[in-house]
Each structure stands twice: as C-alpha cells, then as structure tokens.
Homo-oligomer: A and B are copies of this chain.
Amino acid sequence: MTSVKVAILGFGTVGEGIFNILQEKREQFKTQLGIDLDVAKILVRDATKQRVGIANTLLTESIDEVLAVPNLDVVFEAIVGEEPAYGYLDKAIEHHVNVVTANKVMFAKFGQVLQEKAQKYGVQVGYEATTAGGVPVIKTMENILRVNDVNHVQGILNGTSNYILTQMRTEGISFETALKNAQQLGYAEADPYNDVSGQDAFKKLMILSNLAFGQQPNWDDVEVVGISAITLQQVQEADAKGQRYRHIAEVGLDEDGYIFAKIGPQLVDATHPLYSIDGVDNAVSLDTNYIGKLTLVGPGAGMYPTASVMVEDYADMLVKKPALVTI
C-alpha cells in the first residue's frame, strides 16, 4: 500500500466537500488505486475555531506548516481571490507538491505561470473546478486538443445569470424579483455583482481561452456585459418568437487568426446548442475541426460537484504519474 499525504487549503463549502469525499472514498481508493489518501493538514484562517469531526491537530494557519508535512503529494486549494492563494500554490510547487485549484479569479490571471512553473518542478496542476463547476470541460478539452483543434468556444458559465434569465421567462417575473429569488435559494451572493455583471463568466472564459488557444485576449479589449439591463418585456417578446436570451461567453479565432472574446446576453433560437440549457446549469459548446460540435451540460457550482472534480483531478494525476512514496 502506498500512502499519500494530502492538504486542503481553505475550509469553506468546497474544502469541506473535499474532506468528506476523501473520507468516504478512502477504502475505495485503497482497493482501486492501491493508495491510502491521508488528509494531513487543513489550512484555515482561525485554527482555534472548533469544527465538527475535524481533529484540531489537523488545523493550521501557516502555509509553511502545511508544506513541512513529510511526503506531501498534493494541496487542494479552495480559497477565494488572487492572494494569498497564488502565493501558496507557487510555494507548494517549489516544494514539488502537486496542486489542484477551484480558484477561477486566481487561475485566470496566474494559471499559465503556475503551469509553466509546475512543469519545471515536475509536478502537475489540476483546475477542472475553476470553470463550469462539475462539467468536465477542462479534461474534455485537454483530451480532444491532442488531435483536434478547437476553433470556437461558447459557454453558459454563470449559473446565477442563467437561473435569473430562466425564471424571468418561465415565471414572468422581473430581473429584480428573479435575483431576489436566487439570493433566497442561495444561488446568488448578497452582493451579486460578480455574477450578474458577467465578471465571473469572464474569468472562466479566460481560463478556457488559455487552454484552447494557448493565449488570452487583452483583458481590456473584451466586451463584458451582464444581464441586469434585460427587461421582462424583452424576454417575453423573444419567447413569443421562439427565441431565448442566454448569457453567453465566447472566445475564438477570427479569419485572420486573431483571438476575439465577448461576454453578454445573446438571443438564440431552438437550433442553438445553448437554447435548451435552463436553471443553474452550465454548458460549454466547442467547435472542433475533426469531431464537429460538442456540447457538455451539467451543474455549474455546488459543494460536491466542485469538490468531486477536484478529487478527480488528483486521481488523474496518479494515473499519469506512477512514482509515489511507498511505505
């Protein structure tokens, strides 16, 4: 049996989901992968706070203490915002530790740098959870890009916006009422700016851009429009014509090979691959040269969708990299 030491950075909803899955699946991993995944440290802001089911010795406020764990093989990062997340992952890679992140704001900006650094240090970076929640768009793209070219990516990347647009159409309510409903159901934050302004979708789109095209457009050149200006009357007029407003983030190459990206509401009809995506789901549609059009649909957020794809990121690393510490 190979023993693998694991750390979790951040213990909010997603961090706790990772911890729970690693406990629930511990025996299965022993049998199927031949490894014992042992959570050795959890980085939190307040290590004195009691947490049900978590031994206090697991908790620390110090990244150095986390990285001092002997034979640490991976950190799962579920912190919000650029810093200290980027600094932590940068340091982890220097300690030859694999990293798995759900942090889209950090990864949109620093993903490329982290991946290059990881290659230099012989470790891997998993970031499936940064984009489209439980929808495995990153691994699908990594896989098809080995042979196919992706020419155009279109996605519904913000579940809150999609929920609001869906509610306006199906319930005949205004943007403001639909937003309040979303907040009451926990689909939208108290401050909904990032979601309804398109900024959240923008970050995710930049991550997909990097993967599909090896580059991002100049951020200042990207038109980012949210959904707050769409009226119930517009939604109903569109519906009467068999059309729907979808908040679509898209990136592609134009005829001259230049990258373009835009984010905003689009009117689509029933032939569009994103027409039927309702509620809090996310979806990504990829135009490829050999396969043609591929569309993936699933939950765009949530504790277990997000946490489980992060653990899958690490399981995938294990398959690719057999060298582990054997006790």
B-binding residues in A (CB < 8 A): 21, 25, 32-33, 134-136, 139-140, 143-144, 146-148, 270, 273, 275-276, 290-299, 302, 304-305, 307-309, 311-312, 315-316, 319-320
Contact = CB atoms under 8 A, between A and B. Distances in A.
A290 B307 contact: yes
A298 B298 contact: no
Interface centre among A21, A276, A299, A311 (most CB of B within 10 A): A276
A295 B297 contact: yes
A291 B276 contact: no
Given A134-B292, A298-B291, A304-B290, A143 B147 contact: no
A304 to B, nearest CB: 4
A32 B319 CA distance: 20
A292 B305 contact: yes
A35 B298 CA distance: 36
Interface centre among A140, A293, A308 (most CB of B within 10 A): A308
A118 to B, nearest CB: 15
A297 B297 contact: yes
State the oligomeric state as a number of copies: 2
Interface centre among A143, A146, A299 (most CB of B within 10 A): A146
B296 A146 contact: no
Contacts of A315: 146-147
Nearest to A318: B146
B147 A139 contact: no
Contacts of A143: 136, 139, 312, 316
Contact of A296 (B21, B134, B296, B316): B296
The 3 closest A-B pairs by CB, nearest first: A290-B308, A276-B276, A134-B291
B291 A308 contact: yes
Contacts of A146: 32-33, 311-312, 315-316, 319
Contacts of A33: 146
Contacts of A305: 290-292
B294 A296 contact: yes
Contact of A291 (B148, B275, B304, B320): B304
Nearest to A295: B297
Nearest to A308: B290
